[in-house]
Chains A and B, each alone.
Chain A
Amino acid sequence: DIQMTQSPSSLSASVGDRVTITCRASQSISSYLNWYQQKPGKAPKLLIYAASSLQTGVPSRFSGSGSGTDFTLTISSLQLEDFASYYCHQSYSNPRTFGGGTKVEIK
């Protein structure tokens, strides 16, 4: 199985901050990396697919980069509605696997 390691597991930030979350795969997954946002009591929502493509309707302050084993999700200017948990997910091979998640909290 491909292990996905996310860091940090949690962070505190203020509105307007630039936030970066990283995800590392235990082997190369090319660009088969997706990012999801999950708010409490809600289903996850797709933000970024194929490492860097913005899902329709997602604000442009979200961006993704990376390939191979190292990936990054960046929020350029954190908004109140962005306080949530974020998960990376590899779709390179079965079993699909998720990172452990990053909780973004208000400082």
Chain B
Amino acid sequence: EVQLVQSGAEVKKPGESLKISCTGSGYSFTTYWITWVRQMPGKGLEWMGIIYPGDSDTRYSPSFQGQVTISVDKSINTAYLQWSSLKASDSAMYYCAREYGPDAFDIWGQGTMVTVSS
């Protein structure tokens, strides 16, 4: 079965760092882009950026450039989204998804809820 499995929910304090993960299985992980999408509570979907596991080529939305880092460890079929200093406004659900041929996101992870509160 083709799937993406994300790491569990996180509760952090402002200023702390965080790295969440997205592990692919059931397909050739290195040959499909992996994207990250934010969904704030009660709001819509926001595209954050995308990475190609084969060569780590990464593109960011201008809205998120410099705010997060997207990386990958292809040896363990895992993509990451990380923050160096969290803010309360980073509280949201974060999804990873696979982008396939027609440039659509066909497989999604289950989401990782991040809560940042003092």
Contacts and interface: CB of A to CB of B under 8 A. Distances in A.
B62 interface: yes
Interface string A43-86: 11110011001010000000000000000000000000000000
Given A96-B47, A97-B47, A98-B45, A46 B62 contact: no
Contacts of A94: 50, 59, 61
A42 B44 CA distance: 13
Given A34-B104, A91-B104, A95-B62, A43 B47 contact: no
Interface string B96-107: 010100111110
Nearest to A56: B106
B105 A1 contact: no
Given A43-B95, A98-B47, A101-B44, A91 B108 contact: no
A12 to B, nearest CB: 19
A100 B63 CA distance: 16
Interface in B81-96: 95
B35 interface: yes
Nearest to B99: A91
B102 A53 contact: yes
Interface residues of B, number: 24
Q: Which secondary structure dominates chain A's binding surface?
A: loop
Contacts of B77: none
B111 interface: yes
Contacts of B104: 34, 46, 49-50, 55, 89, 91
Nearest to A55: B106
A1 B63 CA distance: 10
A103 B90 CA distance: 24
Contacts of A34: 102-105
B102 A45 contact: no
- The 7 lowest CB-CB distance pairs between A and B, nearest first, are A91-B103, A49-B104, A43-B108, A95-B61, A34-B104, A96-B47, A98-B45
Interface of B: 35, 37, 44-47, 50, 59-63, 95, 97, 99, 102-106, 108-111
